[in-house]
């Protein structure tokens, strides 16, 4: 595995701070009704992404697919955060020209394949992407993410079976954040060790501390190397936590404030900052400079998104129909 150096810790701190502040800004814009529809934020789960990115080969070779909690993953993979924020505001400069919105961020170029609102639907799609990589011998690995709620969907079992049978280069990652909307993991099944679902398929599997990017990076590296050797899939259960509600309209009656505070004691960003301070990887002034950069970039994204225009109505026709099939439509892609 690539060594976890001072530079990696500093990058993790800056990235995770940016992701958190980016989401906080979206929450504020949602309250102003500038973001419409649903809005699911990633606060608390950042280490699962930071650690995975450390193990991945970016630039389109390795791929990622996830559910609707999907704003910061593409940013981590290199998509311009300004375009992501513009997408959420429905602007033409967005990643899908403003037509995907919060739950459907995509960038094929960067290897990010969404952004899926149907719980569990992306699990077989991720296996299919890995099938393509195997078929075309690209050497790429697909990271297929889903929640603890999605783990109870039947589609997981079909995907697990085929992925094992064909030894597909895929890593299945359950982000167990404790809840599926308001339903706790304890209430969804008679067992809480979701990783054990891999055992029935003899798939290598196990739990990972999803609040610690080092643990995530190590587990992901091992799984991705296994996939690259042609030995097939791995199933990892990342034990994590979401600090905000499921989406923006969630009174959170299903958990206590004390529980949230307990998990804030193991906040992934604080864990990384503590290591930076203990090892004197940065002075207080340097940390302040990082925080300033983060705030400036969030402000830049907001300005860009706010100032961008909404798409023209005509765009609806441009991207839905092919002119050859529908000659009465004057424009084409």
Judged by CB under 5 A, the number of residues near Mg ion is 4
Binding positions for ligand TPP, 266-295, rule CB under 6 A: none
How far is 297 from 43, CA to CA, in rounded Å? 18
Using the rule CB under 5 A, which residue among 177, 212, 234, 240 binds Mg ion? 177
Tell me, by CB under 6 A, how many residues bind ligand TPP: 14
Angle (CA) 170 173 177, round 5°: 170
Report which residue's Cβ sits closest to ligand TPP. 147
* Cα distance between residue 240 and residue 220, in whole Å: 15
DSSP letters of 273-330? Answer: HHHHHHTTSS-HHHHHHHHHHHHHHHHHHHHHHHHSPPPPTTHHHHHH--TTT-TTS-
In this structure, the number of other CB atoms found within 10 A of the CB of residue 287 comes to: 18
The answer to whether residue 116 forms part of the interface with ligand TPP (CB under 6 A) is no
The contacts of residue 269 (CB under 8 Å, 6+ apart) are 13, 16, 17, 20, 46
Cβ-based nearer residue to ligand TPP, 66 or 271: 66
Q: Are 114 and 105 in contact (CB under 8 A)?
A: yes
Q: Which of 1, 28, 58, 118 binds ligand TPP (CB under 6 A)?
A: 118
Cβ within 8 Å of residue 175, ≥6 positions away: 45, 48, 69, 145, 146, 147, 148, 210, 238, 240
Nearer to ligand TPP among residue 101 and residue 311 (C-beta): 101
Q: What is the DSSP string of 267-285?
A: -HHHHHHHHHHHTTSS-HH
Sketch the per residue contact string, 122 through 161, with ligand TPP: x for CB under 6 A, - otherwise. -------------------------xxxx-----------
State which residue, 96 or 192, has the beta carbon closest to Mg ion. Answer: 192
Q: Considering the complex, state which of residue 37 and residue 139 has its C-beta at the smaller distance from ligand TPP.
A: 37
Q: Which does 207 bind (CB under 5 to 8 A by kind): ligand TPP, Mg ion, none?
A: none
Cα–Cα dist 282/273, whole Å = 10
Q: How many helices (H) and strands (E) does the chain have?
A: 12, 7
- Rounded distance between C-alpha atoms, residue 140 and residue 250, angstroms: 38
Rounded least distance, CB 149 to Mg ion, Å: 5
Contact partner, 246, from ligand TPP, Mg ion, none, Cβ < 5-8 Å per class: ligand TPP
Residue 245 touches which member of ligand TPP, Mg ion, none, C-beta under 5-8 Å by kind: none
Kindly write out the interface string for residues 179-208 of this chain, putting x where it contacts ligand TPP by CB under 6 A and - elsewhere: xxx---------------------------
Residue 150 interacting entry, from Mg ion, ligand TPP, none, C-beta within 5 to 8 Å by type: ligand TPP
Length in residues, the chain? 333
Q: Select the binding partner of residue 124 from Mg ion, ligand TPP, none (C-beta < 5 to 8 A, by kind).
A: none
Report the distance separating Cα 255 and Cα 91, nearest Å: 36
Binding status of residue 117 toward ligand TPP by CB under 6 A: yes
Any contact of residue 213 with Mg ion (CB under 5 A)? no
Q: Which is nearer to Mg ion, 224 or 238 (CB)?
A: 238
Residues that bind Mg ion (CB under 5 A): 147-148, 177, 180
Residues in contact with ligand TPP by the rule CB under 6 A? 67, 69, 117-119, 147-150, 177, 179-181, 246
């Amino acid at each position: 595995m690539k060594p976890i150096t001072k530079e990696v810790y500093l990058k993790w701190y800056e990235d995770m701070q940016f992701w958190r502040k980016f989401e906080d800004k979206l929450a504020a814009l949602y309250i102003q009704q500038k973001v419409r529809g649903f809005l699911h934020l990633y606060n608390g789960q950042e280490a699962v992404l930071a650690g995975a990115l450390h193990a991945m080969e970016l630039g389109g070779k390795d791929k990622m697919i996830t559910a609707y909690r999907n704003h910061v993953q593409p940013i981590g993979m290199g998509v311009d955060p300004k375009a992501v924020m513009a997408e959420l505001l429905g602007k033409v400069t967005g990643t899908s020209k403003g037509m995907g919105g919060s739950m459907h961020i995509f960038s094929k170029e960067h290897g990010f394949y969404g952004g899926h609102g149907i719980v569990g639907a992306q699990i077989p799609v991720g296996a299919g992407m890995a099938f393509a990589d195997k078929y075309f011998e690209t050497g790429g690995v697909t990271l297929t993410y889903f929640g603890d709620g999605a783990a109870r969907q039947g589609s997981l079992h079909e995907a697990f079976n085929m992925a094992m049978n064909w030894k597909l280069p895929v890593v299945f990652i359950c982000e167990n954040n404790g809840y599926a909307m308001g339903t706790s993991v304890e209430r969804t099944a008679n067992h809480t060790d979701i990783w054990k679902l891999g055992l029935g398929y003899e798939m290598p599997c196990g739990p990972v501390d999803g609040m610690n990017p080092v643990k995530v990076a190590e587990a992901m590296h091992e799984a991705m190397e296994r996939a690259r050797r042609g030995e097939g899939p791995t199933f990892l259960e990342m034990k994590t936590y979401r600090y905000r509600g499921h989406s923006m309209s969630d009174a959170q009656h299903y958990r206590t404030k004390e529980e949230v505070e307990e998990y804030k004691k193991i906040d992934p960003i604080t864990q990384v900052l503590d290591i930076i301070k203990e090892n004197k990887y940065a002075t207080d002034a340097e940390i302040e400079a990082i925080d300033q950069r983060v705030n400036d970039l969030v402000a830049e994204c907001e300005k860009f998104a706010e100032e961008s225009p909404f798409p023209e109505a005509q765009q609806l026709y441009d991207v839905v129909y092919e002119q050859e099939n529908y000659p009465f439509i004057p424009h084409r892609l």
